[in-house]
Structure 1
């Protein structure tokens, strides 16, 4: 036979139930607090992610802007370069148009005088030729003026402005002259350079290389080499 339940037993049951309820309520509150904390953390991280996304969008927009600016500058540079090329072409054409008549003017000034000039220097030339051209392989060249007699000749290079490169180029051609013009293979060959303007020191340079130097003198020209000068013969 089971024992009878007393009022005291019922009170104890209520007390235990109340204690368990309080524990459950406390755990529920703790979990709510933890859930709220996690929710707040999630919100914070979400806000940070949004901020990072916004920053990334801003940087992407800035990168796009800079890329567009770079493209614009490249296009501007290309346009400027094309304009510069056109200017260079136009300038080159203008210089060429100016230089060609000027070179012809120099040749027309020098050619009538060279026979007498070289005769006075002991080279008994008697006739001149102009624009002598050769297209022989390895010796293609053009000689502006050639003063010649039966055994000697002087090749003359005419420039509006005589530079070291001009002198060196002419010396190279003189070395190959007889290959270019075999009809003169038995001649004694000398060289001369003529210029309205001569770069500083180039007259002395040409002198030392054995070339006659011809300069403008009033309405005619003269040889400026001194009496001690001995021209170089080119074999």
Structure 2
């Protein structure tokens, strides 16, 4: 069958229509590519923002960690200072107690030797006594004095341990009668009674002088 001019024009029209449709699809594809590229750019921007936020969070974390370390350092330094003040106050209390305790030990108990801050070591063991006093001859006795700014329960146990260990460290005084005295700036009535039940003398400060604070009929424990 022969192709007519009309057939050729129809084919051309179909080709033109197909070309237009193809062009339209290319434009749509290009538009979608552009949208996708825009979305990728948005995602990349968000990643950048997230990365910046992570970096800022990390910076703040490091700053917080640095502040914690600085606070910890200051707390340790404060602890050392408080400990130093406690030692100084303890030394001050012992120094305050010594003159009046020495007079009391000599006049009331007839002690011949009064030695503050006695430290002794034996076989790897150590013993510290705030004040040790003793007398030979007819009296033949020794007194251990522990001085506290605030009397606490553990101080009573500490003095008992000192008294029980005394003869191991001082065998030269093994034949002496041994007594304990707790001298405190601040002492509750309950702990005073507790110390006396243990058989310890209690001395309390009055007008800057330590005086015995026990009943006249108090019977001390001999160790």
TM-score range, shorter chain: 0.7 to 0.9
Flag structure 1 segments of 5+ consecutive residues without an equivalent.
120-124
Match of 1:127 among 109, 112, 116: 112
Distance 1:126 1:55, change over 3 A: same
Return the alpha-carbon distance in structure 1 between the equivalents of residues 142 and 30 of structure 2. Answer: 107
Q: Could you tell me how far 1:139 is from its partner in structure 2?
A: 3.8
Preserved CA contact (<8 Å) 2:97 2:210: no
Match of 1:111 among 102, 126, 130: 102
Match of 2:50 among 42, 59, 80: 59
Residue 36 of structure 1 is matched in structure 2 by 27
Q: Could you tell me how far 1:112 is from its partner in structure 2?
A: 0.9
Distance 1:149 1:10, change over 3 A: closer
CA RMSD of aligned residues (A): 3.0
Residue 179 of structure 1 is matched in structure 2 by 168
Residue 213 of structure 2 is matched in structure 1 by 224
Q: Could you tell me how far 1:165 is from its partner in structure 2?
A: 3.1
Distance 1:94 1:147, change over 3 A: closer
SS of residue paired to 1:186: coil
Distance 1:221 1:56, change over 3 A: same
Aligned residues: 219
TM-score by length of 2: 0.79
Return the alpha-carbon distance in structure 2 between the equivalents of residues 169 and 32 of structure 1. Answer: 102
Residue 145 of structure 1 is matched in structure 2 by 131
Q: Could you tell me how far 1:77 is from its partner in structure 2?
A: 4.1
Structure index of larger Rg: 1
Residue 47 of structure 1 is matched in structure 2 by 38
TM-score by length of 1: 0.76
SS of residue paired to 2:221: coil
Distance 1:31 1:204, change over 3 A: farther
Preserved CA contact (<8 Å) 2:141 2:178: yes
Preserved CA contact (<8 Å) 2:93 2:147: no
- Answer yes or no: is 1:101 the counterpart of 2:104: no
Q: Deviations over 1:10-41 (max 9, x none)?
A: 42xx3443443333333333333332222222
The farther-off stretch of 131-140 and 18-27 is 18-27
Flag structure 2 segments of 5+ consecutive residues without an equivalent.
none
SS of residue paired to 2:30: helix
Residue 157 of structure 1 is matched in structure 2 by 146
Preserved CA contact (<8 Å) 1:174 1:191: yes
Preserved CA contact (<8 Å) 1:128 1:145: no
